[in-house]
Chain A
Amino acid sequence: EIVMTQSPATLSVSPGERATLSCRASQSVSSNLAWYQQKPGQAPRLLIYGASTRATGIPARFSGSGSGTEFTLTISSLQSEDFAVYYCQQYNNWPLWTFGQGTKVEIK
């Protein structure tokens, strides 16, 4: 099983500031990496796939980068609606997808 490790567990950021979230895979997942956003009481929402492609309707302030084992999600200027939990997920090892444990982005 590929283990996905996210850091930090919690990120405190002021509105308007940049947030940088990390995700590491225990072995290479190529670019088969997705990021999801989950707000309280809601289902997760796909933000990024292919490590760097924004899903339909996702604002340009969200960007993804990386390949292999190291990945980053950057939110360039945090808006109030961006405070949520973010999960990375690998879909390289068919059909054993795995998620990271999540990073909570909270208001500083």
Chain B
Amino acid sequence: EVQLVQSGAEVKKPGESLKISCKGSGYSFTSYWIGWVRQMPGKGLEWMGIIYPGDSDTRYSPSFQGQVTISADKSISTAYLQWSSLKASDTAMYYCARNPSWGPLDYWGQGTLVTVSS
């Protein structure tokens, strides 16, 4: 069974750093892209970027380039999304999802809620 399990909810202060994770199982982790999607409170889905764990090839949406860093450790089948300096506007639910090279986001993690507040 394909599963993506994300790390738990985080509460941070503005200016702090954060790294959240997404662990894949039940499939060949290095053979599929992993994408990240943001959902701000009460809003829609926003595409952030994508990584291919096989060779760490990473692409970003222009809206998120320079704002976050996407990485992966294929030895433990885990992808990451990180911030070096959080802002209140980073408060959102973040989802990882498996992205076959041919198409859509076919399996999703359960989401990680990030709250940034002073």
Contacts and interface: CB of A to CB of B under 8 A. Distances in A.
A9 to B, nearest CB: 11
Contacts of A44: 37, 45, 95, 97, 105, 108
B47 A97 contact: yes
B46 A95 contact: no
Interface residues of A, number: 23
A32 B59 CA distance: 19
Interface string B82-103: 0000000000000101000001
Contacts of A71: none
Interface of A: 1, 32, 34, 36, 38, 43-46, 49-50, 55, 87, 89, 91, 95-102
Interface of B: 35, 37, 44-47, 49-50, 59, 61-62, 95, 97, 103-111
